[in-house]
């Protein structure tokens, strides 16, 4: 151990003794997290992130894409290995909004002549059992629109599928999770860095306050979420004056006449729910929206296999 490293460790020990918390900078790269002592069933995932011209999934375009393959133990969700990032850029036909440019710092000048490698991205999808993003409801529609022929794969989301808030973390944002869950920090808003940071969070066991004796790897919740069909629930005929209550519940508005509308879904407030939450959601609609009339009869209900989770107009393929 070098003298500098020894002094750093001494300083950290003193800070911890004084009640301070020490955060270390996170640097993303390919790495091995765990080598099983015995043969296990291994799954292959791809973690994806996009930087875009703006926030509208119906019209904005992907200007930076990162896809990082990773291997995981299929029973526990333990991350085993994280591979090198496939990163590509593309010159858009739409201007980058000032708000988005302020976040990711990518300029139009940097993108001139660039194009995503469709064949390389397709190879990553072909090898994968599972695709994950930290906000799949945003990233998947953009990817489906830009790469409509990618093979159908199960989709998970490290933002909504994992009970971060039950763990009493103040936020499910990636930067906050990196600090609270792994005691690292980073700047973020580069697609590859974000993917590596999210995978680092998945590599650390998560303990919930209501089950302190049980530690589970965060990916295990994603694997459970894709085992059973989800449901897309549309509150057809909901009274207009209850729209704010629906919005607070997590419902979003779908208008079939607008670009990016959901395929096969009526003009209504809708929400995607996990299979385990489906009955509770119908009960909430029955009592809170339909005045006691059965949501099973009033709402528009659609089962979503894992390959259609987070998909939008026309891009969801069985």
What pLDDT, on the 0 to 100 scale, is given for residue 313?
52
Section 258-285 average pLDDT: 90
Section 221-235 average pLDDT: 94
Please give the mean pLDDT across all residues of the chain: 92
What pLDDT, on the 0 to 100 scale, is given for residue 259?
75
Q: Which of 4-13, 74-83, 131-140, 151-160 has the lowest mean pLDDT?
A: 4-13
Q: Which of 276, 274, 271 is nearest to 300 (CA)?
A: 271
Distance in angstroms (rounded) separating the CA atoms of residues 71 and 63: 27
Section 225-253 average pLDDT: 95
Residue 16's Cβ-side half-sphere holds a number of Cα atoms within 13 Å equal to 9
What pLDDT, on the 0 to 100 scale, is given for residue 279?
96
CB under 8 A, 24+ apart: contacts of 99-103: 99/54, 99/55, 100/51, 100/52, 100/53, 100/54, 100/55, 100/60, 103/51, 103/189
pLDDT per residue as tens digits for the range 96-155: 999 999 999 999 999 999 999 999 999 999 999 999 999 999 999 999 999 999 999 999
What pLDDT, on the 0 to 100 scale, is given for residue 210?
83
Listed by start position, the domains of the chain span 22-226, 229-308
Q: How far is CA 140 from CA 57, 249, 294, in A?
A: 9, 22, 32
Distance in angstroms (rounded) separating the CA atoms of residues 109 and 86: 22
pLDDT per residue as tens digits for the range 155-200: 999 999 999 999 999 999 999 999 999 999 987 778 999 999 999 9
Q: Per CATH, the architecture of 22-226 is what?
A: 2-Layer Sandwich (3.30)
pTM of the model: 0.88
């Amino acid at each position: 151990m070098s003298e500098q490293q020894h002094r750093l460790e001494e300083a950290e020990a003193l800070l911890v003794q004084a009640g301070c918390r020490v955060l270390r900078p996170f640097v993303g790269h390919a790495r091995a997290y765990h080598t099983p002592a015995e043969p296990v069933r291994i799954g292959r995932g791809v973690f994806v992130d996009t930087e875009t011209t703006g926030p509208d999934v119906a019209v904005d375009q992907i200007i930076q894409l990162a896809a990082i393959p990773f291997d995981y133990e299929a029973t526990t969700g333990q991350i085993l290995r994280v591979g090198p990032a496939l990163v590509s850029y593309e010159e858009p036909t739409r201007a980058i909004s000032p708000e988005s440019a302020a976040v990711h710092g990518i300029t139009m000048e940097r993108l001139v002549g660039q194009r995503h490698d469709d064949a390389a991205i397709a190879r990553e999808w072909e090898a994968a059992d599972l695709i994950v993003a930290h906000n799949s409801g945003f990233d998947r529609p953009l990817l489906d629109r830009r790469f409509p022929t990618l093979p159908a794969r199960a989709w998970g989301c490290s933002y909504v599928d994992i009970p971060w808030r039950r763990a009493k973390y103040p936020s499910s944002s990636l930067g906050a999770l990196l600090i609270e869950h792994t005691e690292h920090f980073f700047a973020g808003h580069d697609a590859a860095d974000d993917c590596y940071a999210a995978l680092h969070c998945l590599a650390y066991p998560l303990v919930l306050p209501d089950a302190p004796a049980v530690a589970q790897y965060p990916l295990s919740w994603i694997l459970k979420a894709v085992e059973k069909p989800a449901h897309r629930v549309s509150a057809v005929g909901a009274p207009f004056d209850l729209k704010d209550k629906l919005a607070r519940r997590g419902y979003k508005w779908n208008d079939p006449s607008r670009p990016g509308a959901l395929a096969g879904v009526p003009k209504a407030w809708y929400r995607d729910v996990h299979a385990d939450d489906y009955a509770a959601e119908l009960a909430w609609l029955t009592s809170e929206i339909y005045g006691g009339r059965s949501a099973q009869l009033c709402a528009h209900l659609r089962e979503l296999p894992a390959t259609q989770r987070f998909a939008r107009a026309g891009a969801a393929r069985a």
